[in-house]
Chains A and B, each alone.
Chain A
Amino acid sequence: AQSVTQPDIHITVSEGASLELRCNYSYGATPYLFWYVQSPGQGLQLLLKYFSGDTLVQGIKGFEAEFKRSQSSFNLRKPSVHWSDAAEYFCAVDTVSGAGSYQLTFGKGTKLSVIP
């Protein structure tokens, strides 16, 4: 079955430092991949998504992600983290449900803390 793994439960970085959040998926074909962010007390917001083409995807808020088929990874990066980036980040991949339709399967999330 398709799945998505976020190995890091919690990451702490200093403001201004670079950031990389890891995401690995297991899927036979080329997947549709997404990163969502959830700020405290809020719903999820899409940061970026990848379907095909250029493997480096630019998103909102200065985030980018790179699709690496050989590593089955879709890691999220930001060159300089701001205090407002403290949130929980979810990677998601399209999967086939038991009924045969496509739906999003989310990872467990990585909580990002930012030290001023």
Chain B
Amino acid sequence: ETGVTQTPRHLVMGMTNKKSLKCEQHLGHNAMYWYKQSAKKPLELMFVYSLEERVENNSVPSRFSPECPNSSHLFLHLHTLQPEDSALYLCASSPTRDVQETQYFGPGTRLLVL
């Protein structure tokens, strides 16, 4: 298996649930990203990890909690979400954190919060 994979592809959860999104990259990259893609809004960068260290947190609410146990895996833990959090969550990776690097995206997890 190659590239960037994300599981699950679709997720429906209630506002009181706790769930986790998983991202895995098989490219040997050192940087990983979480983006939120909502309808009619630009892609929003949420978190950036470089060599397993969080280097960017773009004012994301604490109900989203990222985890990067190693350079190949990235998680997004979700708890007490709101309906407005419904969106496509995209994971990406790049060789380094350098902004010039090409980012490789996974297919995303489509999240619906009821």
Contacts and interface: CB of A to CB of B under 8 A. Distances in A.
Contact of A102 (B40, B99, B107): B99
Interface residues of B, number: 22
Contacts of B40: 108
Interface in A16-37: 32, 36
A104 interface: yes
Interface residues of A, number: 24
Contact of B107 (A43, A51, A97, A107): A43
25 contacts: A32-B99, A36-B105, A41-B107, A43-B4, A43-B90, A43-B92, A43-B106, A44-B92, A44-B103, A44-B105, A45-B105, A51-B100, A94-B100, A97-B56, A98-B59, A101-B55, A101-B97, A102-B99, A103-B45, A103-B48, A103-B99, A104-B45, A108-B40, A108-B42, A109-B42
